[in-house]
């Protein structure tokens, strides 16, 4: 899945009401296996909405670098961020507690929910 679609998918999980007063900024560096350079992105949650753009933000509270699979796990399950960071030995720079804030405004739901119930 391309990074832009990944962020769109993560944005659907943000609870807008819970995230109204949240202001967080995270840099993510998606690194391909065996490579030293990666695909830099930054994401932010502000006014109850998650947005993302290619490149790095100078004012990011946290920067995380790692393989795409690990960063996907981090984005889609921020409640287990500490375990994901430890399991994949992800380098971080900044305030890791912003992932706890992200977890607090992220909803989980059953992807098999009924659209129409007769």
- Walk along the chain (118 residues) and give the pLDDT tens digit of each residue: 889 999 999 999 999 999 999 999 999 999 987 777 789 999 999 999 999 999 999 999 999 999 999 999 888 888 888 888 888 889 999 999 999 999 999 988 777 777 777 6
Question: How far is residue 105 from each of residues 12, 26, 57, 83, 108, measured CA to CA in Å?
Answer: 11, 15, 21, 19, 10
Question: How far is residue 15 from each of residues 19, 28, 62, 72, 113, measured CA to CA in Å?
Answer: 6, 21, 21, 19, 17
- Domain borders along the chain are 3-104
CATH class of the domain comprising 3-104: alpha beta
| pLDDT tens per residue, range 34-43 | 777 789 999 9
| Whole-number pLDDT of residue 37 | 75
């Amino acid at each position: 899945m391309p990074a832009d679609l990944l962020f769109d998918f993560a944005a659907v999980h943000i609870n807008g009401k819970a995230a109204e007063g949240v202001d967080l900024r995270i840099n993510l560096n998606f690194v391909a296996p065996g490579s030293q350079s990666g695909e830099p992105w930054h994401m932010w949650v502000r006014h109850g909405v998650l947005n993302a753009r290619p490149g790095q933000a100078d004012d990011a509270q946290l920067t995380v670098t790692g393989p795409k699979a690990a960063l996907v796990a981090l984005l889609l399950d921020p409640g287990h961020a500490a375990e994901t960071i430890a399991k994949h030995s992800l380098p971080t720079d900044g305030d890791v507690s912003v992932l706890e804030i992200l977890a607090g405004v992220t909803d989980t739901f059953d992807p098999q929910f009924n659209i129409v119930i007769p």
